[in-house]
Amino acid sequence: MARADRLFRLLDALRRLPAPVTAARLAAETDVSERTLYRDIAALRAAGALIDGEAGFGYTLTEDPSLPPQMFDRIELEALVLALGWMQWQGDAELAEAAERALVKVTATLPPRKAEEARHAALLSWAYEPAAEVPVHMKPLREAAWEERAVEIAYTDREGAATRRRIWPLGIVYTDYSPWLLAWCCLRQDFRRFMVSRIAEVVPTSESFRPRRAPLLRDMLARLQGEERY
């Protein structure tokens, strides 16, 4: 296979596979050895692709120089408008404002015909019931997950018992009734789910667990999906 074709296949794999993608998976997708795969990753980075990650943790394509910006078809625009509109209703104040700004920015940078499609999308989100009260600790938990820093939480479980734990926040799942925090519990040395509304206090720490958040979150989601099948 020509090198240019191989790099194109590697970019395609990075775009479509759940991130972070392991070197072994990428090597299998492009039919090369892992040694060659590492050279191809370096070549894409040299060409301007922003690829986060390293051997042992997987790779994520965060900026693709070969993909023209804001080239959405109509159904993609409908999906964006629908999702961002839902977040303005469901998210906390900071996230709702960010969703509104994002929609304005996307629309402003589209070609005129596409901007008109976005402004007059056929799919809209609307809720007759008021949104549930947003838990107060969404922002510090979100920031701790992005910064990959442990936090101490005061938590009340479903039986009403109060506990304090040090956790590694991995991600927040929004459901139709309450958001859940997915985390690694340092006490239990295992994955745990915490209902954010039951978290009474969040205390930031200086402990970093970078760069383990992405692979841990991937493993936790795989376990949860496995549980749902039984």
pLDDT in tens, 72-90: 778 888 888 888 887 877 7
Q: What pLDDT does residue 128 have?
A: 63
Predicted structure pTM score: 0.63
pLDDT at 33 (0 to 100): 92
143 confidence band (pLDDT: 50, 70, 90): very high
Name the residue among 195, 141, 201, 138 with its Cα closest to residue 168: 141
CATH of domain 138-228: 2.30.30
Q: How far apart are CA 67 and CA 164, in angstroms?
A: 46
> Using omega within 30 degrees of 0 as the cis cutoff, is the peptide bond preceding 211 cis?
yes
CATH of 3-63, one of 3.20.20.30, 3.40.50.10860, 1.10.10.10, 2.40.50.140: 1.10.10.10
CA distance 96 to 92: 6
Place of tokens 């978290």: 199
Q: Which residue has the higher pLDDT, 44 or 168?
A: 168
The structural domains of the chain, with segments of one domain joined by +, span 3-63, 74-119, 138-228
Q: Sign of dihedral through CA atoms 87, 88, 89, 95?
A: positive
Query: Strand, helix or coil at 104?
Result: helix
Examine the pLDDT at 67 and tell me if it is beyond 60: no
For the chain, percent of residues with pLDDT exceeding 70: 88
Q: What is the pLDDT of residue 183?
A: 97
| Candidate from 64-73, 174-183, 215-224 with smallest mean pLDDT | 64-73
pLDDT band at 182 (very low <50, low <70, confident <90, very high): very high
Place of tokens 């629309």: 107
Nearest-angstrom CA–CA distance, 84 and 137: 21
Report cis status (omega within 30 of 0) of the bond before 215: no
Q: Can you point out the beta strands (E) in 100-179? A: 149-156, 162-173
Mean pLDDT of 101-113: 78
Structural contact between residues 64 and 8, judged by C-beta atoms closer than 8 angstroms: no
Q: What's the confidence (pLDDT) of residue 52?
A: 87
What would the mean pLDDT of 58-74 be, rounded to a whole number?
71
Scan for tokens 């496995």, then name that residue: 226
Q: What is the mean pLDDT of residues 167-182?
A: 88
Please check the confidence at residue 230 and state whether its pLDDT lies above 50.
no
